[in-house]
Amino acid sequence: MSADTVFDKDKLLSELSIENWIMPMVYAGHVSCVVWLHPYWSQQIQEGEHRMDVGRESSTSTIRVTCKDNYFLSDGLYVRKEQLENSKPLRLSVVRVHPVKPPHTSVKGLDTKQELHPGLCKKARTDGREDGAQPLSAASDTLQPAEGSNIQEQHNSSGTGEEDHDDDDEGSTSYIVERITSVLGKTDAYVLDIDLDFFSCKNPFKDLYSEEEYSILKELYNFQVPDPSADEDELDECVDRRTHQLEDLEAAFADLLENDDDETVERWSRNPGMSSLTRLVSSLKTRNPNPDYEMVHQAGLTCDSVELPHHISSEEEIDGLVSAAQLFLKALPRPTLVTMSRSSLDEYCPVEQVDSVQSKVLAVLEDLYGDLDVYKEYKNCNRDSPNGQTKSH
């Protein structure tokens, strides 16, 4: 995004979406701290503290960051600090959440034996204060992450995943509260942003493409992760290589939108790293003579060093995560504002589960904060982001 867009309200709102709105808020000076809470299947960003600067990159006038995590490198967003203008500090805290066993006396909406119905953009976490200065935000959502067999095995090896760990273990309630309160004071204002795909998450592209097609996309869009000891010059080369890779793929699929005859496909397939494009197009055309190449490119962009998370939770798992949220929220100051995203139109939160999950989360919020004023924006618009705002009396 162009840095200048941040200060043009109408243009900014037209370009914002669930996956790109945090950095513009940081650059505008509204947010200086984000706490991202994630379940075990969402491994997009490394656990721990990430301190970075967010600013305007001088040569492109776009918003860039100084964080060296693969999440930012794979999107080509990393630059050196000296390349930034009007930079703002950001403290990103990544905190894992383990599910816990729901209490026997469940709050309304958490009773797994009762059928529940609804009663609330990547992925507004604004306006807190750290040391009486910059704004602070606490967030609970999922930013486009990764499922992996090794992660699943680690989870399975620890049992059900429900909290039976020592109090200070990673993912426990005490661990979560300690991490959040290290940046959030008792009197600080903050926004609690909840994405319902935190509780159950689907990768919608797995329904659109075959296993072979998805495998080819991962090959085409694969991100070469730099060595952990890489110096600044090597990181610059990594980002430059990645940027050109994504630009070439975008150009290829834009060209195929205009003309996907054999000659065009063959020409692009001769590019380095794009030989499998021929197989991909051939496979796509067996099911649809006119593939949506723009959607294919969007799916490819989610395939870098990790995949999007794909974990459709059982009711027991959902209840365990809702209970975990209830426990750590009870230990935190009352939020100034609660925003909630359903993520159901794009199917990141399974359509058949979203209403039930929403009811359970709202029940917890009402139990903690009292009567709620709920604004269901998703009922008045076609887009699913943002999906609603909840205010407590």
Distance (Å, rounded) from C-alpha 44 to C-alpha 170?
17
pLDDT tier at 18, thresholds 50, 70, 90: confident
CB atoms within 10 A of CB 279: 16
Give per-residue pLDDT as tens, 133-143. 333 333 333 32
Range with lowest mean pLDDT among 110-124, 293-307, 353-367: 110-124
In the predicted model, is pLDDT for residue 235 greater than 80?
A: yes
In the predicted model, is pLDDT for residue 338 greater than 90?
A: yes
Strands 48-57 and 63-65: antiparallel
Q: What's the average model confidence in pLDDT over 129-151?
A: 34
In the predicted model, is pLDDT for residue 313 greater than 80?
A: yes
Which candidate, 273, 388, 307, places its Cα nearest to that of 341? Answer: 388
In the predicted model, is pLDDT for residue 38 greater than 90?
A: yes
Phi (first) and psi of residue 342, to 5 degrees: -75, -35
The owner of tokens 């309160």 is 181
In the predicted model, is pLDDT for residue 237 greater than 60?
A: yes
Mean pLDDT, the chain, integer: 83
Region of residue 115 (phi > 0: left; psi between -120 and 50: alpha; otherwise: beta)? beta
pLDDT tier at 380, thresholds 50, 70, 90: low
**Strand-pair partners of 52:** 90
Domain ranges, ordered by start, for the chain: 3-201+311-392, 206-301
In the predicted model, is pLDDT for residue 379 greater than 80?
A: no
Range with lowest mean pLDDT among 47-56, 118-127, 254-263: 118-127
- Name the more confident of 372 and 383: 372
Q: Which residues contact 382 (CB under 8 A, 6 or more apart)?
A: 345
pLDDT at 377: 84
pLDDT at 106: 47
pLDDT at 54: 98
In the predicted model, is pLDDT for residue 349 greater than 60?
A: yes
Q: What's the average model confidence in pLDDT over 210-214?
A: 94
pLDDT at 50: 96
CB atoms within 10 A of CB 146: 20
Give per-residue pLDDT as tens, 79-90. 999 999 999 999
Instruction: Tell me how far apart the terminal alpha carbons of the chain are, to the nearest angstrom.
Output: 37
In the predicted model, is pLDDT for residue 282 greater than 90?
A: yes
Q: What's the average model confidence in pLDDT over 64-77?
A: 95
The maximal CA–CA distance of the chain, rounded, in angstroms, is 66
pLDDT tier at 288, thresholds 50, 70, 90: very high
Q: What's the average model confidence in pLDDT over 108-124?
A: 34
Q: What's the average model confidence in pLDDT over 156-167?
A: 46
The owner of tokens 């296993």 is 211
**Strand-pair partners of 106:** none
In the predicted model, is pLDDT for residue 153 greater than 80?
A: no
Distance (Å, rounded) from C-alpha 168 to C-alpha 165?
8
